Structure 1
C-alpha cells in the first residue's frame, strides 16, 4: 500500500493523505494531468471515474462521474486554481447534480497537491481543506478518507507500466 499517513485535523478543517511512490515526480504528475490516467485511480476500485471535461489550466474546469457497483452515478466537478508543474496543484472540489451543476448546499472543498522528490522516489501529499466543521464531518461520514486511501492504493500499478 502506498499510503503512509492519513491525518484528520478538525481544528484546521483538513484531511491530509501522504503517499510515496517508486517513480519520479514528473511521472507522478502525469497521473494528475492526463484524464485517462486519472480515470484509472480517481475513486475507489468499486466506484471508477469517467472524466467528461478536463481543462487542465488555471481557471479551467473538470467534470466527472463515478459509477457505483449498482450502476448509480455520483457526479463531481473541479476548478483548477493553481498549477505549477510538476510539483503543485490546487483546485476547488465539489459535488454536482445530474446536469453537472454544482450542488451548492454541500459546498466546495479546497484540494492542494504537493509532489516532493525523494532521490528519484516521490512523496505525494493531498490536503483537503473544508469550509466548515459540518462539511468535514459529512464528507468523512460519507467515506471520503477510506475512499481516497483505496483510490490512491491503485496508483502503484499505473506507475509500474
Structure 2
C-alpha cells in the first residue's frame, strides 16, 4: 500500500528562501536517479503541457545541465544548472539560472542556489529542497511567475512516472526459472500489434490485456488522463519454445518518446542475483549503461543497458 505523500512548501522572505519537503513512494536509489539523470528528468521536470528537453548534461561537481522548457506552441525557455557539490544518494548543491540556447546566462533574470537532501525512509524517500535567492525581489519574482504551481505539477509528474514504472515492469512470474523474453514499446498501438502477433502464433495472452485504467488509484497522485485509460499497460503473449513477447504503450502524454532504437529490449530473467550480475557485467562491457543493477521498488533486482553493438537489454531478477 502506498504511503501518504508529504508535501510542505514554505516561503521564508526574511532569508530569501523557499523550502520544500516532499516524499516519494520509492527507494532512495530510484528517487536519486530521477533527480540526476537527464532522460528521467525530461519525463517529469516540466508541468504539463510543457516538456523539459535536455541539450546536455554532465552530472558531476563542476558539470552542468542545459535544458529547455518547451511549451505546447513550441515556445522555449532555456535554463542552466551548475553543479557545485555532490554526495551520491545523499545531497547535491547547484546554481540555477536562466540562459540562452548556448548556456549564456541571462543576468536580468533571478538566479538561485539549490541544496537538495535525500533521506532514505525504507519503502519511501524524503527530498528536502532549499532554494536561496540573492534578494527578496528575486524571490518574489519567481513566486509571481508561478514557481509553486509549476514545481508542484512537476513533482506530481514524477509520482505518476514512478507508479507507471512499477506497473509496467512488475514481474508476475510463477517461479524463479530462468527465461528470456522480448519487451516492446509502442506509441499507442500496442493492442493492434499484439492482436496481430496473437493471430500469427495462435496463442493466448497471459492474464489478458491489462490497461492503464486497471492500475489501482492513489488519492495522493493525479488521475490518469481519460484518453490514456484504455491504452495497454502490459501484455504477455507466449510464442513458442518458451519465449514470451511483452509489450506496453509508452504515450507521449506520460513523457515517453518511442522511436527506432529504443522501442525493443531483450529481457533476461536469470535464476539468481549472482547470475544477473555476471550477465549484466559481461554483456554491458564496452556499451552504455542506462540503469546499473540495483534493487527496485517493484521488488526486482534490475538493470538495463545498450551493448557495444547497439542492442538494448534488460536484466531482471525477482525472487518469487
TM-score (ref. length: structure 1): 0.94
Question: Which has the higher mean CA deviation after the structures are superposed, 133-142 or 99-108?
Answer: 99-108
State the partner residue of 1:46.
Answer: 49
Name which of 124, 129, 139 aligns with 1:126.
129
The separation in 1 between residues aligned to 2:76 and 2:115, in whole angstroms, is 25
The aligned length equals 161
Q: How far off is 1:2 after superposition?
A: 4.4
Whether 1:26 and 2:41 are equivalent positions in the alignment is no
Distance 1:109 1:119, change over 3 A: same
Q: How far off is 1:97 after superposition?
A: 2.5
Distance 1:98 1:108, change over 3 A: same
Q: Matched residue of 2:44: which SS?
A: coil
State the partner residue of 1:141.
Answer: 144
Bigger radius of gyration, 1 or 2? 2
Whether 1:88 and 2:91 are equivalent positions in the alignment is yes
Deviations 1:89-138 (A, max 9, x none): 11100001244311012242001111111233101111111110111011
Distance 1:3 1:66, change over 3 A: farther
The separation in 2 between residues aligned to 1:2 and 1:100, in whole angstroms, is 35
TM-score (ref. length: structure 2): 0.48
Alignment gaps of 5+ in structure 2: 166-320
Greater strand proportion: 1
Q: How far off is 1:68 after superposition?
A: 1.0
RMSD: 1.5
Q: Matched residue of 1:40: which SS?
A: helix
Alignment gaps of 5+ in structure 1: none
The separation in 2 between residues aligned to 1:89 and 1:83, in whole angstroms, is 4
Name which of 5, 9, 12 aligns with 1:6.
9
The structure, 1 or 2, with the larger RCO (C-alpha pairs under 8 Å, 6+ apart) is 1
Runs of 4+ in structure 1 off by over 6 angstroms are none
The separation in 2 between residues aligned to 1:147 and 1:140, in whole angstroms, is 10
Distance 1:3 1:63, change over 3 A: farther
State the partner residue of 2:73.
Answer: 70
